[in-house]
Structure 1
Amino acid sequence: MTVQDIIKAMDDNLNAKSRVLTSKMIVHGRRTSRTIESRNWVVGIDQAFTEYLSPPREAGTKMLKLFDKLWTYSPQTDRVIQISGHMLRQSVMGSDMSYNDMMEDRPLEEL
């Protein structure tokens, strides 16, 4: 068995063709910490949808990724904004994760 075979087997075990998950992210700020909960629907590596469930300030915010394009919807402003180029490297919800990090889940053999 080659290294490539092992990495492919790991990818096959870790990455489903489609998945739904709920996650919590704790963002530590200078004065306080907050927990952001989201629900994610993912198909392959090119299609993903995320809805933020809490805290109330973030609830209802949505992100849609289709291939190399990303859109966000904010219920506070009732607007959809396309995020592209260097903006994909910006922080999500004040965390250390970028939009690219949040919405991308490439197989190990592509890294």
Structure 2
Amino acid sequence: MKPHPYILLPVFVILMLPLDSVPQRNQDARAILQKIDELYRSDSNQARFEMEIVTPHWQRTLKINLWNRGMEKTFLRILEPKKERGIATLRIGNEMWNYLPRTNKVIKIPPSMMMGSWMGSDFTNDDLVKEYTFLKDYDFEFTDIGNPEANRIYIRCVPKKDRPIVWGHILIAVRENDYLPVWQKYFDEKGNLVREMTYRDIRTFGSRTIPSVMELVPAAKEGNRTIVRYLEARFDIDVPDEIFSLRNLRSGIRP
């Protein structure tokens, strides 16, 4: 039986690589993942975005203010629509609280609810906590896929064994010229696709160039998707400490 040419090709390529190319490729992968980890964050940043939630039965769009401080602190407040106006979420480390203005109550999100939906979207509470990074919490390597796109680089990320991460592995596609993400596919431990995030509409906000639109599609919910559209974004700005506080969580809408 004649060996398949696609099996021989990777072996040939590996044999042709210089001896120091594997460490260099690892460094390149680290640079790509660091860029992805920090793409929408800086030491401190603020943004305003829309979140469009689509299901087979209903559809709505939220307008949200967001503040971040590095990977440790996040604060979100819903501005529109009127029904949800004032609802807020605070995350400090791996702790998270929601504020519901109609009942004037602050609710701490228990670990058992971290995989629950945030505001009916396809994003989970755990997505907002986002305490794990590709660079520190995953083992990674360049990989190949069937029917690869031109000018794309693919990286396979597997959670480190001591990390309580729900994904079996994540497959990432980035643009070859600037390392901006094109899509991320999330798989369970059996290798089944759970959801896919796609990135598009590249825009520059200040000195930062990012995909301004992200679309998350769950594999098991036909007709569902959540689209995030960045309207404004400012990076490396002064964000007061009081933003990330339970007192601010209860306060009103900021202009």
Specify the code of the residue in structure 1 equivalent to 2:128.
Answer: M
1:90 aligns with 2:77: no
- Corresponding residue for residue 76 of structure 1: 102
* Greater mean deviation of Cα atoms: 3-12 or 99-108: 3-12
Whether the 8 Å CA contact 1:7–1:108 is kept in 2: the answer is no
Task: Tell me if 1:3 matches 2:28.
Answer: yes
Q: Is the 8 A contact 1:46 1:66 kept in 2?
A: yes
3-state SS of 2:90 partner: strand
Q: Which runs of 4+ in 1 moved over 3 A?
A: 105-108
Query: Which of the pair has more CA radius of gyration?
Result: 2
The aligned amino acid for 1:78 is N
Structure 1, 12-21 or 38-47: larger mean CA deviation: 12-21
Identify the residue that residue 21 of structure 1 maps to in structure 2.
47
Partner of 2:253: none
- Normalising to structure 1: TM-score of the pair? 0.86
User: Equivalent residue for 2:69?
Assistant: 43
**Cα gap change, 1:101/1:25 in structure 2, threshold over 3 Å: closer, same or farther?**
same
Instruction: Determine if contact 1:19/1:43 at 8 Å carries over to the other structure.
Output: yes
Question: Does structure 1 conserve the Cα–Cα contact (< 8 Å) formed by 2:66 and 2:75?
Answer: yes
The structure-2 alpha-carbon separation of the partners of 1:12 and 1:87, relative to structure 1 and needing over 3 Å to count, comes to closer
Q: In structure 2, list runs of 5 or more residues that go unmatched.
A: 1-23, 139-255
Deviation at 1:37, TM superposition (A): 1.0
Alpha-carbon distance, 1:86 to partner: 1.7
Question: Is contact 1:62-1:74 (8 Å) kept?
Answer: yes
* Aligned match for 1:109, one of 120, 131, 135: 135
Letter of the 1:33 counterpart: Q
2:79 is aligned to: 53
Partner SS state of residue 89, structure 1? coil
CA distance in 2, matches of 1:67, 1:79: 21
Q: Which residue of 2 aligns with 1:62?
A: 88
Cα pair distance change 1:30/1:20, threshold 3 Å: same
Instruction: Provide the alpha-carbon RMSD of the alignment.
Output: 2.1
What code does the residue aligned with 1:27 have? I
Give 1:52's aligned amino acid. I
- For residue 103 of structure 1, report the CA deviation from its aligned partner: 3.6
Q: Deviations over 1:22-72 (max 9, x none)?
A: 111111133331001110110011111110111111110011111111011
* Partner SS, residue 57 of structure 1: helix
Q: What's the offset of the Cα at 1:93?
A: 1.0
Moved more, 4-13 or 94-103: 4-13
TM-score, normalisation: structure 2: 0.40
In structure 1, the gaps of 5 or more residues are none
Alignment size in residue pairs: 111
Equivalent pair of 2:37/2:134 in contact (CA under 8 Å): no
Q: Could you tell me the percent identity over the aligned residues?
A: 26
CA separation of 1:89 and 1:8: change in aligned 2, threshold 3 A:
closer
Give the drift of 1:8: 6.1
